[in-house]
Amino acid sequence: MGIGTILEAMGNIWAVLGKKRVKFIQILWLGPLAACQISPVQMENPPEDSPGPAAQTTPSSQPDPENSGTNSDVASPSPPPSTAYQDGVNLASSAFTLGQQATSSDDWQLVASRWEQAVQTLQTVPTDSQQYPTAQTKLKDYQRNLAYAKQQLETLSQPPSEISLARPNRPDTSSSVSASPRIPIIERRGGTPVIEVSFNGKRYPMILDTGASHTHIPRAMANELGIQVVGQTSVTTASSNQTVVDVGYVESVQVGNITRTNIPVSIGDTVPIGLLGNDIYRNFDVILQVNSVEFRQR
């Protein structure tokens, strides 16, 4: 077949293809005698609306911001463990230490406040806590200690007018009266006479304080006499101040024609010298002379 015949045949083919509106993208010539081959159209990028694999999306691992906080799979943070039990025990320890040293109403006010805080704190221990059973046991003890501290505070707020202590297995105070001798005044302190008084057979200078409801001795004197402390009480001094003092018993007190046994006395260092109170010379009139004192029985 000649070149002209081939060209004429190709023209006829193009005419037929034009009528059928078929468009070829590529025609390959394989040689002068080769037939033409048609390659299908290849697309580098698929269209946006193509349903092919390229259009498929992979689920995102990022959380949806609109649904954040509502996902049931996300665990909420656990609340911190309660420290109520340990806090209550610490407050109780502080209250106990303060109570060992408390002497004034202010001291006991602080002790009562600490016990009250300890009670209130233990009451907040959660029921599901491991310390809850122990907290309930300690709570009862703390409430008893709180009641005791309040009792001490009330006692100091209303000091007794005189020493009054129970004396189990002790004989009643006795007294004996002889003639009414005059007792020399050895000195005066602020105009108040000082006389000698015998305690357990030993003589000591004592201020004759007619305004004192009970007898008071210095601690050094109590140690010398071997007096044991058996309790405490609150007393009011001449300056209207309240103070807590120790209490002990003297086997015998003798002044002039008065002898008393088993007498409670307060012990402290508020004054450097003892005070002879009217618990010794009650039922006696005190007659003061210039240089002497006389106790005359009524």
Beta-bridge mates of residue 247: 231, 266
Q: Tell me, what CATH number does 246's domain have? A: 2.40.70.10
Task: Give the pLDDT of residue 49.
Answer: 47
What are the tens digits of pLDDT across the range 170-222? 544 455 545 568 899 999 887 889 999 999 999 999 998 777 788 999 999 99
- Tell me how many domains the chain contains: 2
Separation CA 244–CA 248 (nearest Å): 13
254 has a pLDDT exceeding 80: yes
- pLDDT band per the 50, 70, 90 thresholds, residue 282: confident
Q: Are 216 and 291 in the same domain?
A: yes
Residue 213 lies in a domain: yes
Find the farthest-apart pair of alpha carbons in the chain and give their distance in angstroms, rounded.
181
Q: Are 146 and 191 in the same domain?
A: no
Cα angle at 210 between 204 and 214, to 5 degrees? 65
Separation CA 215–CA 267 (nearest Å): 9
Residue 164 lies in a domain: no
Domain boundary among 157, 183, 203: 157
Domain boundary among 129, 157, 185: 157
76 has a pLDDT exceeding 80: no
Domain that holds residue 113: 84-157
Residue 112: HSE in the Cβ half-sphere, 13 Å Cα cutoff: 14
Q: Is residue 5 a contact partner of residue 13, using CB atoms and an 8 Å limit?
A: no
Q: HEC string of 22-33? A: CCCCCEECCCCC
Task: Give the pLDDT of residue 28.
Answer: 43
Task: Give the pLDDT of residue 80.
Answer: 81
Separation CA 121–CA 84 (nearest Å): 6
Q: Is residue 180 a contact partner of residue 296, using CB atoms and an 8 Å limit?
A: yes
Q: Are 152 and 179 in the same domain?
A: no
Write the burial class of residue 14 (CB in 10 Å: 0-12 exposed, 13-18 middle, 19+ buried).
Answer: exposed
Residue 46 lies in a domain: no
Q: Are 153 and 245 in the same domain?
A: no
Q: Are 235 and 269 in the same domain?
A: yes
Domain boundary among 125, 157, 189: 157
- Residue matched to tokens 């006795």: 174
Residue 249 lies in a domain: yes
Q: Are 279 and 215 in the same domain?
A: yes
231 has a pLDDT exceeding 50: yes
Beta-bridge mates of residue 195: 206
Beta-bridge mates of residue 243: 235
Residue 250 identity = V
Separation CA 241–CA 188 (nearest Å): 24
Q: Is residue 173 a contact partner of residue 263, using CB atoms and an 8 Å limit?
A: yes
18 has a pLDDT exceeding 60: no
Q: Are 142 and 191 in the same domain?
A: no
What are the tens digits of pLDDT across the range 263-276? 899 898 777 889 89
Residue 207 lies in a domain: yes
Residue 208 lies in a domain: yes
